[in-house]
Amino acid sequence: MTELVRTESLHKQFGELEVLKGIDLSVEAGETVVLLGSSGSGKSTLLRCINFMELPTSGKVYLHGKAVGTETKGQIKYNESHLCSVRTKVGMVFQHFNLFPHMTVLQNIMEGQRTVLKRNAADSKEKSMLQLERVGLTDKAGEYPSRLSGGQKQRVAIARALAMDPDVMLFDEVTSALDPELVGEVLKTMRQLADEGMTMICVTHELGFAYHVANRVLFLNDGTILEEGNPQQILRKPETQRMCEFLEGHSLFKLPD
């Protein structure tokens, strides 16, 4: 398979606080990777460094085998226009939907295509409707976000990211702000994307999703990858005491027989 994303000795500091302590990660095209870990372990920061919402303190990020940024005398410099191009290929969906309240669902999805990709109105609308169909919301195209449930808003956010034609999708705890009965519809959409071969890196506490959908699970602890492997291995037979403690905290999680 083809390697799509790779991080090499990735570090990120905020002042004196070192959040990422040398992350080496490789994600192949079509793979679904789930990041687990307690709050503060570095999961979200890792995603934000991969799409350069945060600039790494040191280390490298590769997309399609090419390092992002230019290294000069041991320091990596980033060009903002290049980073904008990178971000269009690394779609990200957040815990909070960040939809424009004064725009309809259709307008929200078209906006990035028009302003960033410079697509014309007809092509942007066609692409937007295709993605709404993909997430099962074509009937909501003319609605405003205030008229949608939380699950519907999150699926619109997913459609908006997909409309930019990303090579990889990053999901940052996208179900954690939802009422429990709405979580399933978002996870179903994500599972559909995985089945279609979309490359995905997901931060989530939904261990059932990790078990059934992920190709690989990584457990982050204190800015490092403590365990890594297939879901059956990581979730059934954890190797570290810290991972065992983490799983015990999810007492409602039941693995299938």
Task: For residue 120, tell me if it sits in a domain.
Answer: no
**Residue at 163 is within a domain:** no
User: Average pLDDT of 61-67?
Assistant: 94
pLDDT average, residue stretch 229-248: 92
Examine the pLDDT at 252 and tell me if it is beyond 70.
Answer: no
Comparing 1-5, 58-62, 118-122, 157-161, which segment has the lowest mean pLDDT? 1-5
Query: Is 50 within a domain?
Result: yes
CATH for 72: 3.40.50.300
Mean pLDDT to the nearest integer, 28-35: 97
pLDDT-based confidence at residue 71 (cuts at 50, 70, 90): confident
Q: Measure the CA angle with vertex 95, ends 89 and 101; round to 5°.
A: 85
What pLDDT shows up at residue 211? Answer: 93
Q: How many domains does the chain have?
A: 1
Q: What is the mean pLDDT of residues 55-79?
A: 91
Report the pLDDT value the prediction gives residue 20, as an integer from 0 to 100: 97
Has residue 127 been placed in a domain? no
Banded model confidence at residue 74, pLDDT cuts 50, 70, 90: confident
Residues 99-146: tens digit of each pLDDT: 999 999 999 999 999 999 999 999 999 999 999 999 999 999 999 999
Return mean pLDDT, the chain: 92
Residue 142 dihedral angles phi and psi, to the nearest 5°: -95, 0
50 is written with which tokens? Answer: 């991969």
Residue 256, pLDDT > 60, answer no
In a domain, 129, yes or no: no
Q: Give a three-class secondary structure readout of the chain.
A: CCEEEEEEEEEEEECCEEEEEEEEEEEECCCEEEEECCCCCCHHHHHHHHCCCCCCCEEEEEECCEECCEEECCEEECCHHHHHHHHHHEEEECCCCCCCCCCCHHHHHHHHHHHCCCCCHHHHHHHHHHHHHHCCCHHHCCCCHHHCCHHHHHHHHHHHHHCCCCCEEEEECCCCCCCHHHHHHHHHHHHHHHHCCCEEEEECCCHHHHHHHCCEEEEEECCEEEEEECHHHHHHCCCCHHHHHHHHCCCCCCCCC
Whether the pLDDT of residue 178 is over 90: the answer is no
Residue 209 in domain: yes
Per the structure, the complete domain to which residue 175 belongs is given by 3-97+168-248
Work out the pLDDT band at 225, boundaries 50, 70, 90: very high
Which residues are 217's β-sheet partners? 34, 229
Q: Is residue 29 part of a domain?
A: yes
- Token output for 8: 């090499």
Is residue 1 pLDDT above 80, yes or no? Answer: no
